[in-house]
Structure 1
Amino acid sequence: MKTFSSSPFMPGRRTALAALASLAAGGALAQARPAAVRIGYQKSSTLIAVLKLQGALERAFAPLGLAPSWHEFTSGLPLLEALNLDNIDLSADVADTVPVFAQAAGARLTFVAQEAPSPSAQAILVRADSPLRSVADLKGRRVGFAKAAGVHYLLIAALDQAGLSFRDIEPAYLAPADGRAAFERGAIDAWVVWDPFLAAAQRQSGARVLADGTGLASYQRYYLAGTGFARAHPEVLGVLYAELEKTGRWVKAHPKEAAALLAPFWGLDAAIVEQANSRRSYAVREATRERLSEQQRIADAFLAEKLLPRRVDALDVDLYKPPGA
């Protein structure tokens, strides 16, 4: 009959105990490792970029046992698609138009915060030697811009004011990098873009502003969360909101330091970054239904131009209320 020793010094017993200890240690490490908060951002997401570069969210989330996980996107629409598909938890600032397209696709969004208007931080540009002198001159011309970006609505609003419609131009949907290349080689007649790309084109190639958003498009940017995540983790939204608010004030109060920090991250001269930042409010505030009023005008304008598949109720969203608001 086979017998088993109960001695703890038998080799088999020692190996088993070592394995169990190793597994226990691994489990403790796994429990100690911070859970990830997945944050989507664009290169031009200024306040999130500052938070990332300064490590501020790592410090702010640490007491919650959390750490940010960073995910870069080339434009706002795929960013919100990822949010809706639960591939990220939080979205850095996107232009006011982007949520409208996401809602039309059935996304459920929670508005965490809003940046106050910055209408001059986006503009319709033409080359310095262009014969185009007014928005009305865009009729029949090829105009480049990023689809669903804030500049998309600016273009619609500017055309409408000039007595034109979207059908009067030839649109070219281009991400900023592709738009800049097409603009400089003359493949498009005008380019509609936002800062810091706007400031870079002005300073580096002498691009001329045909019209900016003043009196046409407020250009308010929004920070969003997946609704499921927002309802489950309001404490995370509270930390993010407080850090965004603080960082917005710091950027405006320290323009040169902020420009020096962002310049290598954006691959731009500090002077360009400082000019771009001077046109953005960076005033982070609560997103209220009253402050969302322009969202419905944006949605209706896109619907009128048959750029949305259905009517969108722009106020059919969840709104986060920060502590003390």
Structure 2
Amino acid sequence: MITRRQTLQLLAAGAAALALPTAGRAQDSATQFRIGWQKGGVFALAKNSGAIEKRLAPRGITVTWAEFTSGPPLLEALGANAIDFGSTGDVPPLFAQAAGGDLVYVAATPGSLDGSAILVKQASPIQSLADLKGKKVAFKRGSSSHNFIVKALRSVDLTLDDITPLDLGPPDAAPAFANNQIDAWVIWDPYYAIAAEDPDTRVLTTTEGVVDSYGFYQANGAYAAENPTIVAEVLDELRLVGEAAQTDLDATAEAISASNGVPVPITRITLGRKGANLGAIIPLDDDIVAYQQALADEFYNLKIIPRSLTIRDIVWSPPAL
């Protein structure tokens, strides 16, 4: 798992790579494929089976994997050329683009309807979203949970100014929630599914009916420009792995658990979320770009990101395989 210190080391390595002459950089990118991943999903299956390694083997490409606990540090590394490819929710790429990171959207996946939740303790006096006013609410700034809490509060005429927001990633938020140091936790799977198994935990609401979302696959911009066929082949391989996984979710849960250590029953819960589909990897059409643009405009208007963004500027055009 990548720590903050290791992320900075990766960024330093990426900066050094950016300083290389163009010819040397192209040669490096043609012989390696560096994946940033989070626990679970189709990446766990691909990593466990070696599917991407096998797909790229004829090209003589070495595949390496770096684990991250959330999307923001993953895209920080991606935008700085410390990794080449990864996947996050809808909000992290907005922060990465606003920060000037070199990244492009290469594919999308529809988010499950109920794969994130706002959690409170069973005995908490918080019974509705309106009760969050004045409370300590933890979420990872710049992650999909940031969008979720904004939309959830808006549904009851509240804003982030009405709560005490705490920027905590899962490794810090989980013990804070367990020890009653926060009043509510906005979190995604598999952390949501793990926490919800505790009888002392209550689900205040899920994303269903509050926010529709997409997940996105991203690549380093220079890497995708120099190696479009490699990126397209990896996306195709992930789609094939995901489609096969959907045919037997019980076996898939066991395979993902073997890769990331999340218990099989928990993994099976996440795979059964409404609308979840490991094989749903699709190009960014006009509707998806419009969705992401609306989110970017909203976050800019709320002064959450520092500048206006044009999403289409960093949408990649895949080659024909």
| 1:287-310: CA deviation from partner (whole Å, max 9, x where unpaired) | 223212221222223223321111
Partner of 2:267: 273
Contact 2:141 2:168 (C-alpha < 8 Å) held by counterparts = yes
Q: How does 1:132-281 map to 2 (within 5 A)?
A: 132-279=126-273, 280-281=276-277
Contact 1:134 1:210 (C-alpha < 8 Å) held by counterparts = yes
AA at the equivalent of 2:148: L
| 1:55-102: CA deviation from partner (whole Å, max 9, x where unpaired) | 1111110111112111222221121111111111112x2011111111
| C-alpha distance 65-313 of structure 1, shift in aligned 2 (>3 A) | same
In the alignment, the residues of structure 2 paired with residue 245 and residue 155 of structure 1 have an alpha-carbon distance, to the nearest angstrom, of 30
Instruction: Return 5+ residue gaps in structure 1 as ranges.
Output: 1-30
In the alignment, the residues of structure 1 paired with residue 224 and residue 82 of structure 2 have an alpha-carbon distance, to the nearest angstrom, of 14
| 1:302-322: CA deviation from partner (whole Å, max 9, x where unpaired) | 223321111222232132336
| C-alpha distance 180-49 of structure 1, shift in aligned 2 (>3 A) | same
Contact 2:296 2:308 (C-alpha < 8 Å) held by counterparts = yes
Residue 104 in structure 1 maps to residue 104 in structure 2: no
Partner of 1:26: none
Contact 2:79 2:220 (C-alpha < 8 Å) held by counterparts = yes
Contact 2:228 2:319 (C-alpha < 8 Å) held by counterparts = no
1:201 offset after TM fit, Å?
A: 1.0
How many aligned positions are there? 290
Residue 119 in structure 1 maps to residue 113 in structure 2: yes
Computing the radius of gyration over CA atoms, which structure comes out larger, 1 or 2? 1
In the alignment, the residues of structure 1 paired with residue 229 and residue 295 of structure 2 have an alpha-carbon distance, to the nearest angstrom, of 31
SS of equivalent residue, structure 2 residue 125: coil
In the alignment, the residues of structure 2 paired with residue 64 and residue 108 of structure 1 have an alpha-carbon distance, to the nearest angstrom, of 25
Residue 304 in structure 1 maps to residue 298 in structure 2: no
Q: TM-score, normalised by structure 2?
A: 0.85
Match of 2:286 among 286, 289, 301: 289
1:108 offset after TM fit, Å?
A: 3.4
In the alignment, the residues of structure 1 paired with residue 245 and residue 38 of structure 2 have an alpha-carbon distance, to the nearest angstrom, of 18
AA at the equivalent of 2:201: A
SS of equivalent residue, structure 1 residue 284: coil
Contact 1:110 1:318 (C-alpha < 8 Å) held by counterparts = yes
In the alignment, the residues of structure 2 paired with residue 227 and residue 266 of structure 1 have an alpha-carbon distance, to the nearest angstrom, of 28
Q: TM-score, normalised by structure 1?
A: 0.84
SS of equivalent residue, structure 2 residue 142: coil
Partner of 2:17: none
Partner of 2:52: 57
AA at the equivalent of 1:112: V
1:286 offset after TM fit, Å?
A: 1.2
Contact 2:45 2:259 (C-alpha < 8 Å) held by counterparts = no
1:242 offset after TM fit, Å?
A: 1.1
Contact 1:144 1:192 (C-alpha < 8 Å) held by counterparts = yes
SS of equivalent residue, structure 1 residue 119: coil
Instruction: Return 5+ residue gaps in structure 2 as ranges.
Output: 1-26
1:216 offset after TM fit, Å?
A: 2.7
In the alignment, the residues of structure 1 paired with residue 213 and residue 151 of structure 2 have an alpha-carbon distance, to the nearest angstrom, of 12
